[in-house]
Amino acid sequence: MGGKNGREDEKQSVELPLFETKPRKGNTAYKLFSLTVFLAICFIWFYRFTNIPTTGEAGRWAWIGMFISEVLFGIYWIFTQSARWDVAYTFPFKQRLSLRYEEELPGVDVFVCTADPILEPPTLVINTVLSVLSFNYPPHKLSVYLSDDGGSEFTFYALLEASTFSKHWIPFCNKFKVEPRSPQVYFSQNIHDGHDQIFAEEWSNTKKLYEEMRNRIEIAMESGRISDEIKNQHKGFSEWNSKTTKQDHHSIVKILIDGRNSKAVDAYGNQLPTLVYLSREKKPGKPHNFKAGSMNALIRVSAEVSNAPIILNLDCDMYSNDADAIREALCFFMDEKRGHEISFVQHPQCYANVTKNDLYGNVARVTSKIELACLGSHGAALYCGTGCFHRRASLCGKEYSKEHKYELNGGQEKMNDGRSIEELEEASKVVANCSYEEGTQWGKGMGLVYGCLSEDIITGLTIQCRGWKSVYYNPKRHAFLGVAPSTLEVALVQHKRWSEGLFQIFFSNYNPFTYGFRKIKLAAQMGYCIYLLWAPISIPTLCYVILPSLCLLHNISLFPKVTSIWFLPFAYVYAARNGYGLAEALSSGETVRSWWNLQRIWMIRRTTTYFFAFFDTVSRQLGFTETALFTLTGKVMDNDVEKRYQQEIMEFGSSSLMFTITSMLALLNLLSFIWGAMKLGLAPEFLPQVSLSGVIVMVNMPVYEALFIRKDSGSLPLSVLIRSVLALSVVCLMPVFFPGNAK
């Protein structure tokens, strides 16, 4: 009876898809709601256009500035609807995959990228490596590659130590179904209490081995040298000499675990996955194309060693949080009906160190659960640079064709071609040389695209324009977890880099409306522009933060009276935008406070980093010298900073130009709010502007605390207060928009 049921279950499994897509409940209701918002926006545009003050009348240019801002806001809002109208979610069935293809699972190559042993400590890197080495996947079909763009022998040494520790860590994980499989994270949970004695003993022994390994790595880092005793234990250290630097070194490829060799086994005699260290060649004057160049070198080196048809790429701080992540991703690639057209499967960027109320808006749950999911339902999920499974063929430039289906059963021919480790390493060094790409299509039609800070987004777009589809998958248990910025300055610098790179794409030949014309859906083109236009949306935001407050100080009204019927569209758009935004956030798992924190962060981003990104990009397009407002510096978070972060106290602590602008805008709105509130009884027509300034004041409460109340090292320096007051004085005295007082 049991055998019969088993055969029936297997037969039914063959007939069922490996994944399904379900539309979000309430899509129709949202469309009706968004139409009412659009109608209100049109009324606002009509009101602004038909009530422009005459030439010479007070506030004419401020009114025009508000009109232009509201037009731009409205157009941008229309773009955002492309990522909300048809939200759908994907669900894989890994049990069906196991029943159907357990013996035919494809090879998988995992790429982990690091660039600096100081900013990205080797212990952090190897925890990510160990977490992916211990995936719940056949080890002879799994290969892990670490790309070290820093060319550091400390990173190599750490990986060498990890290769030894993996012989104990992998069987421990498999035996006790450990989650997560990053040793640092797992052992910090102290979950051995309450388990049986066998588990407790193995837990203690494995933790001891991990602590000993970590101590050896940290001692080497602190001393600044690898001891001769350690160097003599592995010939790989001979690749480094006194002339080796981060920007000038030859290709280094070392296979630390040869998964082809039956002798490469763990402490229990089980096969180990392949583990490879790569540091591509770098020479002064030779372009290395940053992470895109690193990824392309990994693609070529892995093609020499394992050539798996599926590639997973991760940042070095993004450890695996789900041992079955590969199996779930394969459900999309191996589905009989739709799998052959899928190029990549993108997971959301999630973080392990986010505070309860997400102080710096790092998580962006609404973006992950709604916007990116909706773009995925259009077959145009964004490639975000980490946590992404790729089909090697599509990543290497192959066009999608219904007639030619790229199978996933390749890769093993390389693993079994009979070449020795030395031969594989030498062949890999050749393709990792900086001159290898000269005269080829690498960086253009093959691999990741060069020439843009956001190489991941532009690469995903080019793949989709070659006919492939992409999937966005946001599982209940996050597949990968990284480290989010824990200071405001670092968070803003990160967004400055992102927004600048995204805006570059809009100006380039890869603009979604031209490059993607008739290749991807219009909704997908608009969806890309939600992020590509982060930088220019700073201009109308600055206008809305500055102009109403300045006009209030000069007794100029910019909004209809509260008693006027024309006030209703303004009130409705404001209430609908914030009310629905709050409901959307709560339904996505945020708290009211985290939603409020995000409003603050969005305003700070749009008035500082996005504006700088806009200015830099436009300057570059016009051929002017790019401004140098930021430098990326590594900062170690001390105990005080960590304590304030956990208490959700904003960390300023520097005299950055960003903070001067933020402080000036906060003081401007505080001044106008006080001034407007004092005269509100005699001039009720200013209520909308007073209310707007009041909201901005509430959003900026942490800024006022950092300026006037706090005395810790994370507060704003006196120099920021002085500069912001001087800037405020200049702004308040500007006569350009105010030829006279309102009548």
CA Rg, the chain, in Å? 28
Q: Using CA atoms, how far apart are residues 553 and 669, in angstroms rounded to an integer? A: 10
Q: Report the topology of domain 94-484.
A: Spore Coat Polysaccharide Biosynthesis Protein SpsA; Chain A (3.90.550)
Residues 219-274: tens digit of each pLDDT: 999 999 999 999 998 999 999 988 888 889 999 999 999 988 888 999 999 999 99
Q: Residue range 406-419: average pLDDT?
A: 66
Annotated catalytic, 149? yes
pLDDT number for residue 634: 40
Does the pLDDT of residue 195 top 90, yes or no? no
Q: Residue range 440-458: average pLDDT?
A: 94
Contacts of 26 (CB under 8 A, 6+ apart): none
Does the pLDDT of residue 347 top 80, yes or no? yes
- The Cβ-side half-sphere exposure at 428, using a 13 Å CA radius, reads 30
pLDDT band at residue 736 under the 50/70/90 scheme: very low
Strand-pairing partners, residue 481, are 319
Q: Residue range 22-48: average pLDDT?
A: 96
Among 109, 148, 149, 324, which one carries the catalytic annotation? 149
pLDDT band at residue 636 under the 50/70/90 scheme: very low
Does the pLDDT of residue 741 top 50, yes or no? no
Residues 154-179: tens digit of each pLDDT: 999 999 999 999 999 999 999 999 99
Does the pLDDT of residue 4 top 60, yes or no? no
Q: Using CA atoms, how far apart are residues 488 and 490, in angstroms rounded to an integer? A: 6
Q: Residue range 418-443: average pLDDT?
A: 94
Does the pLDDT of residue 628 top 50, yes or no? no
The answer to whether 33 touches 584, Cβ cutoff 8 Å, is no
C-alpha distance from residue 321 to each of 185, 200, 482 (Å): 10, 22, 10
Does the pLDDT of residue 88 top 90, yes or no? yes
pLDDT number for residue 152: 95
Does the pLDDT of residue 288 top 70, yes or no? yes
Average predicted confidence (pLDDT) for the chain: 91
Among 258, 317, 335, 456, which one carries the catalytic annotation? 456
Of residues 248 and 639, more confidence is placed in: 248
Q: Indicate if the alpha-carbon torsion angle 264, 266, 267, 269 is positive or negative.
A: negative
Q: Which residue has the tokens 């991990």?
A: 210
Q: Burial of 149 by CB count in 10 Å (0-12 exposed, 13-18 middle, 19+ buried)?
A: buried
Q: Domain map of the chain by residue range? A: 27-81+530-732, 94-484
pLDDT number for residue 621: 86
The reported pTM is 0.93
Annotated catalytic, 324? no
Find the DSSP H helices in 259-371. Answer: 290-305, 325-333, 365-366
- The Cβ-side half-sphere exposure at 110, using a 13 Å CA radius, reads 27
